[in-house]
């Protein structure tokens, strides 16, 4: 297969290369790492080789089978359709196409079956959901199937890796007591601080990240689910954490909730308060699972559950989810 990774020199792009290597390996006959003009001449490491970075124009002319995009919404809006017209299947990690009614928004374990209903033989665009939405949808899906989720109140504690390389640099520089090298990712200090803002503010007073949780959860799971969110950036690099309060139409038994989650693909339950076991980003980092714990009844409302959901936002929240979509479209040949 010929695969382009657009944004290959970036935070998510680098993890996409790693996950492609781990999961598809030698099936990738040609890799086209794509970045901006300033990166032409650089190389990225893939399968033990240094592969030169190319520009978008060169990559689209190569007509790759698959193009994984993670180079920002502007690049996706302009270039994803050009790759699709050239016959490539684009899996886009930006927010550019997620709410387009003609585009699928896929978490393979939750709604991957929708892929079979569309013809991608001449190319197309598939959207990869927002990192915070993916891990929440993963935890809600098995519970929605059993008890019908009516309303969700979520507060996120998001890793700086979700903002890209500049943000990680800012955190490291501030942590080391240095002047921040280059452009700052956040207007305020992030080390030793908590910023109640992820992405831009919208006219309704919410941030775009908060509204992504509302819009995308509806599209992936069920538009009848009402969601309200507060998205917060914390000085952490390992993954995103979420406090999720879920109101169901039907009552539940906590042990059954635990069983449903434990049986769901891609979920690991870590819930043993007596032994201080609960999910945390330090443990989730580098892993593909979504970790769920602190399962407890919300004693202030009927049929309502509190849970704590953690995942590596660069892996399941971005690169792994995208590569899983690719695997579903291009299943490995049967040995």
List residues near ligand A2P by CB under 6 A. Answer: 7-11, 13, 35-36, 38-39, 56, 71-72, 75, 164-165
Residue 279 to residues 80, 111, 314: CA-CA distances in angstroms?
Answer: 36, 25, 17
Has 253 been annotated as catalytic?
Answer: no
Residue 293 to residues 144, 179, 318: CA-CA distances in angstroms?
Answer: 17, 38, 22
Q: Which is nearer to ligand A2P, 54 or 307 (CB)?
A: 54
Has 131 been annotated as catalytic?
Answer: yes
How many CB atoms within 10 Å of residue 262?
13
The residue annotated as part of the active site, out of 144, 172, 198, 240, is 240
Query: In angstroms, what is the minimal distance from the CB of 167 to ligand A2P?
Result: 8
Between CA 10 and CA 20 the distance in angstroms is 15
The residue annotated as part of the active site, out of 113, 131, 198, 255, is 131
Between CA 154 and CA 165 the distance in angstroms is 26
- 89-92, strands of its sheet edge to edge: 30-34, 2-6, 66-69, 89-92, 124-127, 104-105
Q: Which is nearer to ligand A2P, 10 or 279 (CB)?
A: 10
Q: Which is nearer to ligand A2P, 161 or 217 (CB)?
A: 161
Q: Which is nearer to ligand A2P, 114 or 165 (CB)?
A: 165
Query: In angstroms, what is the minimal distance from the CB of 15 to ligand A2P?
Result: 10
Query: In angstroms, what is the minimal distance from the CB of 262 to ligand A2P?
Result: 34
Q: Which residues, in sequence order, are CB contacts of 304 under 8 Å at separation 6+? A: 245, 246, 247, 248, 297, 298
Which residue lies nearest ligand A2P, judged by its C-beta? 10
- HSE-up of residue 81 (Cα within 13 Å, Cβ side): 8
Query: In angstroms, what is the minimal distance from the CB of 164 to ligand A2P?
Result: 3
Tell me which residues are annotated as active site: 131, 240
């Amino acid at each position: 297969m010929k695969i382009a990774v657009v944004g290959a020199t970036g935070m998510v792009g680098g993890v996409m290369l790693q996950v492609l290597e781990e999961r598809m390996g030698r099936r990738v006959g040609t890799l086209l790492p794509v970045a901006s003009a300033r990166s032409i001449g650089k190389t990225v490491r893939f399968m033990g080789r240094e592969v030169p970075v190319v520009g978008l124009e060169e990559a689209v002319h190569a007509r790759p089978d698959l193009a994984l995009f993670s180079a920002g919404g502007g690049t996706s809006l302009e270039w994803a359709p050009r790759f699709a017209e050239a016959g490539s299947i684009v899996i886009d990690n930006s927010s550019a196409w997620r709410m387009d009614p003609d585009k699928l928004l896929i978490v393979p374990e939750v709604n991957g079956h929708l892929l079979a209903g569309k013809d991608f033989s001449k190319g197309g665009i598939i959207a990869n959901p927002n990192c915070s939405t993916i891990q929440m949808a993963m935890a809600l899906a098995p519970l929605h199937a059993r008890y019908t989720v009516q309303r969700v109140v979520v507060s996120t504690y998001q890793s700086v890796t979700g903002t890209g390389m500049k943000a990680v640099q800012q955190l490291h520089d501030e942590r080391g007591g240095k002047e921040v090298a280059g452009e700052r990712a956040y207007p305020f200090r992030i080390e030793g601080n908590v910023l109640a803002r992820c992405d831009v503010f919208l006219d309704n007073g919410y941030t775009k990240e908060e509204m992504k949780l509302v819009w995308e959860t509806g599209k992936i799971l069920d538009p009848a689910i009402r969601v309200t969110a507060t998205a917060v950036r914390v000085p952490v690099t390992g993954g995103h954490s979420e406090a999720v309060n879920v109101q169901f139409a039907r009552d539940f038994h906590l042990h059954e909730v635990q069983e449903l989650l434990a049986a769901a693909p891609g979920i690991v339950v870590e819930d043993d308060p007596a032994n201080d076991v609960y999910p945390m980003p330090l443990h989730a980092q580098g892993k593909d699972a979504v970790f769920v714990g602190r399962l407890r009844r919300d004693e202030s409302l009927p049929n309502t559950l509190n849970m704590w959901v953690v995942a590596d936002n660069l892996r399941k929240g971005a690169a792994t989810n995208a590569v899983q979509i690719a695997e579903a479209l291009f299943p490995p040949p049967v040995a």
